[in-house]
Amino acid sequence: MIKNEKGSTLLVVLLMILVFTILGLTILSASIGGAKRTEIRKESIVENLDAIRTLNEAAAYIKKTIKLEYTPEMSIEDYNQMITDKILNNPLDYQITNDRPDLKDFTRVLLVSSKAPNGQSYSQTVYITPMPSFLKYAIGSRDVLTINGSLYLKEGNIYANNKIEISNQARYVYNNVSKTVNTTFPSVFNKDSNFLFLENENINFCNNKCYDGSTKNTFLPLEISKINQVFDPTAPTYSKENTEFVEVDIIKTFIEKLKNSGIIDPSLNTSNMSNKKLLELVASSIGTFNEGNNAVQILKSFNKIEGNSSAKSYLYNSNAFIDTNNLTIDKSKWLVINGDAYFENIGNEKMNVSANILVTGNVSIKGKIAFNSTMYVLGNTEINNVDISGLDSGELILMTQRNLEIARLNKFQNPDSSNLDHVDSIKAFLYTNSDAVVYAIGSYINIDGGLFAHGNLEVNAFRGTVPGADSTDLTFVSKSDEKASRLIIKNNKKLFINQAQGLPKVDQLEVLTDLMKKN
């Protein structure tokens, strides 16, 4: 009996040893497998980071090459050869291809690719363009940018050269009386994709009681590290612009386009003329224009324009009232209006305008109009009760020398912030060489493009609904959702590609990068 118990005990001990041995081997195997998987995962991450790093290096190489090789005197043939030899066939074996071989001017769209050893590939689009810098930003000013209230920046960046001022009180005018409404501070969509560029790192702010009617009260300085205090709920990331700002000179560009149009002698040296003399040259050249010049076709009407193959431009020598279904002119030519231009669509169907336009006077835009145009205006511009859309994947780039006014858009409309597709909007880049003030209080303004002033730019926006008004004031209903702002701006970098022929000539090229993509 005792022997049997001893045998049983031995079997139990051996069984336990076997169990623990198997368990130990299992744990050891799992540890080794886990270590291997960790090592494989680590190698995969390192390989992906190397691929991403290659994209960054390739983009930096493109920027450096353009900076070193491009000159303003370079012909398009030499430019094409430089792009091919130095960038597409680069000596560092970066995978760079021309994504838009159809583009014939200085604008280029390049696709940079990189593949990790694990098979994962990444890509990034790089744009080379002779565009002025204002097109890079959703909103900005070369002087003082003032944001009163709840601007919502859906996509793009903010720029201010001298100073930015931010408050949570929006100004407006009702029955010719200056008023204010308390609201929230502005917001951006995402701190990782929306940036604030300040040349002088100068920020002032005000929290309530910022204005007494039209009188501005004290704004206090704010440290950049505390930028979150003046954005609600999301602040942009502060950054320093590392490229020189490329200005646009509307008057000199106007002269250049008139030379290209056959109205001013291209050999005439205007480089040392003052703006006053240049404007006198515009007036005298158009006013004394010889109708026998085959390079310019004189227009008497905007209906059924018959193209002249030898004409470089079309001239309308009076104030122009344009209310036609379609106004289409080859983008390599210019429509010159010597006077004021009124683009006013009184019908329900959209008016289509596909033309590059020079206006010596003022411009007024009203109604539903689809643009595929670049427009230079020597006077004031008023955008009133409009729905500006893009035509044939295009848009409007409008540059005005004097004041820019945007008024009475979607008055007292309160759209669903989750679906803005059916709201009248402005698909355009709007630039003024002067000051500009925008009120989005009773109006609802949705800009797909950008808004920029060479002078001061002030925008005022309420967050919430404005159902109506009585004899004394507007009716306000505040909302906390940042997308309920009555001024929404979305910047689209790709819009300038369609207007390359109409953009002003600049002395340097911009190199812009899009977001990286995991393919």
Domain boundaries, the chain: 2-130, 251-431+489-503
Distance CA(329)–CA(354), nearest Å, equals: 6
Distance CA(117)–CA(516), nearest Å, equals: 18
Distance CA(311)–CA(175), nearest Å, equals: 50
Distance CA(178)–CA(213), nearest Å, equals: 5
Distance CA(487)–CA(425), nearest Å, equals: 10
Distance, C-alpha 205 to centroid of its chain: 25
- Residue partners of 359: CB distance under 8 A and separation at least 6: 337, 339, 340, 341, 375, 376, 377, 378, 379
**Which residue type does 146 have?**
T
H or E element in which residue 446 lies? strand 445-448
- Residue partners of 111: CB distance under 8 A and separation at least 6: 96, 97, 98, 99, 123, 124, 125, 126
Contact 467, 415 (CB under 8 A): no
Distance CA(388)–CA(366), nearest Å, equals: 9
- Residue partners of 382: CB distance under 8 A and separation at least 6: 362, 363, 364, 365, 405, 407
- Note the pLDDT of residue 311: 85
Distance CA(96)–CA(250), nearest Å, equals: 35
User: What is the Cα Rg of the chain in Å?
Assistant: 30
Distance CA(158)–CA(197), nearest Å, equals: 6
- Note the pLDDT of residue 40: 45
- Note the pLDDT of residue 307: 66
β-bridge pairing 144-149 and 163-167? parallel
Give the residue from 145, 129, 138 showing the smallest Cα distance to 246: 129
> Beta-carbon neighbour count of residue 61 at 10 Å?
18
Distance CA(358)–CA(258), nearest Å, equals: 9
Distance CA(263)–CA(302), nearest Å, equals: 20
**Which residue type does 134 have?**
F
Give the residue from 50, 127, 130 showing the smallest Cα distance to 87: 127
- Note the pLDDT of residue 310: 78
pLDDT in 10s for each residue of the chain, 519 residues: 444 555 667 666 677 777 667 776 666 666 655 555 555 444 555 567 888 899 999 999 999 999 999 988 888 889 999 999 999 999 999 999 999 998 877 889 999 999 888 778 899 999 998 888 999 999 999 999 999 999 999 999 999 999 999 999 999 999 999 999 999 999 999 999 999 999 999 999 999 999 998 899 999 999 999 999 999 999 999 998 878 888 899 999 999 999 988 899 888 998 889 999 999 999 998 877 766 677 889 998 998 787 667 788 999 999 999 999 999 999 889 999 999 999 999 888 899 999 999 999 999 999 999 999 999 999 999 999 899 999 988 899 999 999 999 988 888 888 876 666 667 789 999 999 999 999 999 999 999 999 999 999 999 999 999 999 998 999 999 999 999 999 999 997 666 677 777 888 777 888 888 888 888
**Which residue type does 53 have?**
R
Distance CA(298)–CA(197), nearest Å, equals: 46
Beta bridge partners of 430: 398, 451
Structure tokens at 332: 């390599």
Provide the greatest CA pair distance for the chain.
133
Structure tokens at 84: 């091919």
End-to-end CA distance of the chain: 75
Distance, C-alpha 406 to centroid of its chain: 18
Structure tokens at 325: 């279904």
> Beta-carbon neighbour count of residue 180 at 10 Å?
21
H or E element in which residue 49 lies? helix 2-69
- Note the pLDDT of residue 7: 60
Distance CA(253)–CA(397), nearest Å, equals: 14
- Note the pLDDT of residue 5: 55
β-bridge pairing 457-461 and 464-469? unpaired
- Cβ-in-10-Å burial (0-12, 13-18, 19+) of 73 comes to exposed
Contact 131, 506 (CB under 8 A): yes
